[in-house]
C-alpha cells in the first residue's frame, strides 16, 4: 500500500526531515522535535485531507470525514449520483468501466462498490493523487486503476468498456466530437454523459436534406447548435463549448449512441445502437487519421460516391 508521502511525491530533500515512513504504516508520519526527544505520531485523516487539497469532489469517507464539506456547489457530486444511480445495474460484477476525467474518484469508487473494475483517467496529477488516496480509504485499490491520460488516448487502449462515464468533460475540450467518436467506439453497453448546455429543451427531427438556400432553418430554436466560448465562462478559460439539448442528442446519434434515459438536467444515459453505428462508416477514414491510425484503405468508402450528388439529374 502506498504511503501518503509517496502519493504526494515529497521531494528527496524532505524524505528524511520532518516526514518519514515507519514500520510500513500507510500514513505519513510527522516528526515533532522537542529538545533532545522526538514525538512521532500519525497524521490524522483531517491533516491528510488538508495535505491533499484543494478538493473538487466532496467524498464521504468511511471514517466519517468529508473532503470538501463546504463546497460551493453543495454536496458535489453526491447530488448528481443520487439522480442517476437507480438507472445503473446494482451488480456490476466483472464490468469493465472507464471513468473519463475521474477527478478525486467519487464515481470510480461508487462503481467499484458495485463490483466493477474501473480505469480512472485524468490529465491532472493533483486529482490522481487524491483518487489514489481515496481508493485506499475505501479499500478499493484492487478494483480501481488510475492513469494520467487524455480522452484522445483512449483510442489506443485495447478492448471495449461495458460502461463509460463521461461527465463534465466535453465542454472543456477543443475537439469535442472527436472525443465522443473515440468513446463511442470503445463502448460495449452504456455511456453516461453530461455536459454544460445552452438554455432550451426544444428538440424535433431535422430534415434529411435541405438546400443551400434554406439555411434560415438552422436559426430555429430546435436546430442542433453549439455555442463557442472564445474567452472565459465562470472565470475558466477551458470552458469552450455549450451545445443545446438538440445538439447533444444529435451528436450522440451521429456517434452511434441512442439516448435511453435522461435522469436529470444535462444528463444522458446512452446505449449502443448498431444501426446508428453503421452510419458512421462514411467518416471512418477521418476518425482513423485523427487518432493516428492507418486511414488510407478506409478512405475508399468515403470518396467512392462522394461527388455523385453534384452530377446533373
Domain shared by 69 and 153, yes or no:
yes
Cis peptide before 54 (omega within 30 of 0): yes
70 in any annotated domain: yes
In degrees and rounded to multiples of 5, residue 131 shows phi and psi of -65, -40
Residue 13 structural domain? 4-43
96 in any annotated domain: yes
Q: Tally the domains of the chain.
A: 2
233 in any annotated domain: yes
Domain shared by 177 and 268, yes or no:
yes
Domain shared by 67 and 37, yes or no:
no
49 in any annotated domain: no
| CA–CA gap between residue 130 and residue 101 (Å, rounded) | 13
211 in any annotated domain: no
Domain shared by 68 and 35, yes or no:
no
Domain shared by 140 and 289, yes or no:
yes
Q: Among residues 169, 179, 159, which one has the least CA distance to residue 124?
A: 169
278 in any annotated domain: yes
Domain shared by 148 and 106, yes or no:
yes
Domain shared by 175 and 37, yes or no:
no
In total, the chain counts a number of residues equal to 313
| CA–CA gap between residue 156 and residue 218 (Å, rounded) | 36
Tens-level pLDDT at each residue, the chain (313 residues): 666 656 665 343 333 333 333 333 444 444 444 455 566 788 999 999 999 999 999 999 999 999 999 999 999 999 999 999 999 999 999 999 999 999 999 999 999 999 999 999 999 999 999 999 999 999 999 999 999 999 999 999 999 999 999 999 999 999 999 999 999 999 999 999 999 999 989 988 999 999 999 999 999 999 999 999 999 999 999 999 999 999 999 999 999 999 999 999 999 999 999 999 887 767 888 999 999 999 998 888 777 766 666 666 5
Residue 88 confidence (pLDDT): 97
Domain shared by 87 and 117, yes or no:
yes
Domain shared by 175 and 31, yes or no:
no
130 in any annotated domain: yes
Residue 37 confidence (pLDDT): 55
**Are the C-beta atoms of residues 61 and 45 closer than 8 Å to each other?**
yes
Domain shared by 61 and 126, yes or no:
yes
Residue linked to cell 442528442:
249
Residue 303 confidence (pLDDT): 77
Q: What is the CATH number of the domain that holds 256?
A: 3.40.50.150
Domain shared by 91 and 36, yes or no:
no
Domain shared by 143 and 65, yes or no:
yes
Amino acid at each position: 500500500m502506498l504511503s501518503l508521502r509517496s502519493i504526494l511525491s515529497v521531494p528527496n530533500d524532505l524524505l528524511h526531515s520532518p516526514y518519514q515512513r515507519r514500520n510500513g504504516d500507510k500514513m505519513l508520519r510527522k516528526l515533532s522535535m522537542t529538545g533532545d526527544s522526538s514525538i512521532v505520531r500519525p497524521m490524522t485523516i483531517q491533516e491528510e485531507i488538508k495535505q491533499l487539497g484543494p478538493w473538487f469532489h466532496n467524498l464521504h469517507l468511511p471514517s466519517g470525514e468529508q473532503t470538501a464539506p463546504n463546497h460551493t456547489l453543495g454536496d458535489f457530486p453526491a447530488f448528481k449520483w443520487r439522480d442517476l444511480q437507480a438507472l445503473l445495474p446494482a451488480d456490476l460484477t466483472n464490468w469493465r468501466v472507464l471513468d473519463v476525467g475521474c477527478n478525486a474518484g467519487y464515481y470510480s469508487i461508487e462503481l467499484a462498490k458495485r463490483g466493477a473494475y474501473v480505469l480512472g483517467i485524468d490529465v491532472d496529477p493533483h486529482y490522481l493523487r487524491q483518487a489514489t488516496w481515496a481508493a485506499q480509504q475505501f479499500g478499493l485499490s484492487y478494483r480501481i486503476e488510475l492513469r494520467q491520460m487524455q480522452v484522445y488516448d483512449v483510442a489506443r487502449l485495447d478492448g471495449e468498456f461495458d460502461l463509460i462515464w463521461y461527465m463534465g468533460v466535453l465542454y472543456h475540450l477543443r475537439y469535442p466530437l472527436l472525443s465522443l467518436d473515440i468513446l463511442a467506439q470503445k463502448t460495449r453497453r452504456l455511456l453516461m454523459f453530461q455536459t454544460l448546455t445552452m438554455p432550451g429543451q426544444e428538440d424535433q427531427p431535422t430534415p434529411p436534406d435541405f438546400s443551400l438556400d434554406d439555411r434560415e432553418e438552422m436559426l430555429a430554436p430546435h436546430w442542433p447548435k453549439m455555442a463557442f466560448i472564445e474567452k472565459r465562462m465562470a472565470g475558466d478559460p477551458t470552458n469552450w463549448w455549450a451545445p443545446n439539448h438538440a445538439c447533444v442528442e444529435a451528436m450522440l446519434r451521429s456517434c452511434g449512441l441512442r439516448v435511453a434515459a435522461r435522469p436529470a438536467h444535462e444528463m444522458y444515459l446512452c446505449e449502443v445502437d448498431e444501426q446508428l453505428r453503421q452510419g458512421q462508416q462514411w467518416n471512418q477514414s477521418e476518425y482513423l487519421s485523427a487518432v493516428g491510425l492507418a486511414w488510407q484503405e478506409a478512405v475508399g468508402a468515403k470518396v467512392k460516391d462522394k461527388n455523385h450528388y453534384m452530377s446533373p439529374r
